[in-house]
Amino acid sequence: MRLLERYKEMQEKGTEVYFDAEEIIELLEHFEQMNDFKEFRQLLTLGLKLHPENSDIRIKECKCHIYDEEYEKALQLMAHIGDNDNPDLLPLKLECLYATARYDEANAFIEKHPVDTELEELYEYLAPVLSEIGKDEIACQLVKRGIVLFPENVILKEELCYHMEMEGNLHEALHLCKELIDINPYSTDYWYMQGRLLSNLGDYENAIESFDFALTCDETDIEIKLLRAYCLFMNKNYEMAIEAYMDLLSDKKDIAEHIEPILTECYMKADDFKHACALFSKLLDKSGTLPEMNAYETFTHDFFETAYNKDVTTEYLSKMFLAAKEIQDNKWSSDMPFLHTEEIHLQGDQPLLSRLSMEFIKNKYHRN
């Protein structure tokens, strides 16, 4: 991009080069698409200096106020620009009106607008934007109104699917998601969305299948891999879950603290107490790791969200893992300490310890 090169060269040399208004707009749109708002603001300052009365650059100034959530300033500037026929100005004005809770005024603009392509584009713009700024209820109302007028609009279908999921209407959201997959069966997002909905409905097997399809579209998506591994765990495919988590750890070391607690439980469920003990001991050495693991409904998470004594708990857990490992390896020592269910109850009937002890007892990893 020759224009961008000229701009960067100007910055490097510390000189000020003239750009006409169209060039400024082109560069501003480039930085906006790149989400580089630092450069956007710097260039906007230059653009306003060179072309202070250019309405398109002033509209970009309105956007800058909106990025900074300065909605009143944006509205005042729009009134100063006064170009009500500009198609770029109306969606920004409506966004500001909704953001400042002037719902009646904003709705009046939409209701009196002809049912045409411009109105459809307004719905497309406002629905996701209002959700992003925390106006989910208003966004949902807009989406439902828009989908009646434009029932084939894919963006509105996507937004409606999102709001149905947020409202807990998972079956309706799933039905709509399947429609979206029929429209574009090669969309990673749609397969991921379907997998997420199925997992929330407890249909882990079909959720895994959806995530597999999503990964054929984009095999690098870490979030899909994480949810797929978790569904394998919840579907009691422990060996496959371990393999999936280990693959993730080999690719992304920085997510280890999010994976290792549930991987420990995978090992325990798979009766691999050697690896469970080793990984659990590693977790205990990481200060603050266990109390922060809130992504999964595991034994560890359930307990460490409570106010029980963590030092006592980790000591008993260590004994449990060590005992199970020694029994499995046929290295049980007669003087090995082991925690029985009765002893747990003496410690205050802590639910995590009770459940873990019963898990070992159920699998006969205990002494009579």
Give the phi and the psi of residue 330 in degrees, each rounded to 5.
60, 35
Over residues 21-30, the mean pLDDT reads 94
Angle, vertex CA 297, rays to CA 292 and CA 298, nearest 5 = 80
Res. 331 pLDDT band, cuts 50 70 90: low
Tens of pLDDT, residues 103-150: 999 999 999 999 999 999 999 999 999 999 999 999 999 999 999 999
Q: What is the CA radius of gyration of the chain?
A: 28
DSSP state of 255: G
Among all chains, which residue has been given the structure tokens 């999503």? 214
Q: How many CA atoms lie within 13 A of 190 on its CB side?
A: 18
Triad 76, 77, 78: Cα angle to 5°: 90
* Angle at CA of residue 173, ends 211 and 187, nearest 5°: 40
Length of the chain in residues, anyone? Answer: 368
**pTM score, two decimals?**
0.74
What tens digit of pLDDT does each residue of 137-175 get? 999 999 999 999 999 999 999 999 999 999 999 999 999
Query: Which residues have C-beta within 8 Å of that of residue 327, sequence separation ≥ 6?
Result: 273, 365, 366
Instruction: Extract the tokens encoding 55.
Output: 């309405």
pLDDT band at 321 (very low <50, low <70, confident <90, very high): low
CA distance 43 to 27: 8
CA–CA separation, 194 and 206 (whole Å) = 9
pLDDT band at 267 (very low <50, low <70, confident <90, very high): confident
pLDDT for the residue numbered 368: 35
List Cβ neighbours of 334 (8 Å cut-off, separation of 6 or more). Answer: none
Average pLDDT over residues 76-83: 89
Give the per-residue pLDDT at 291. 40
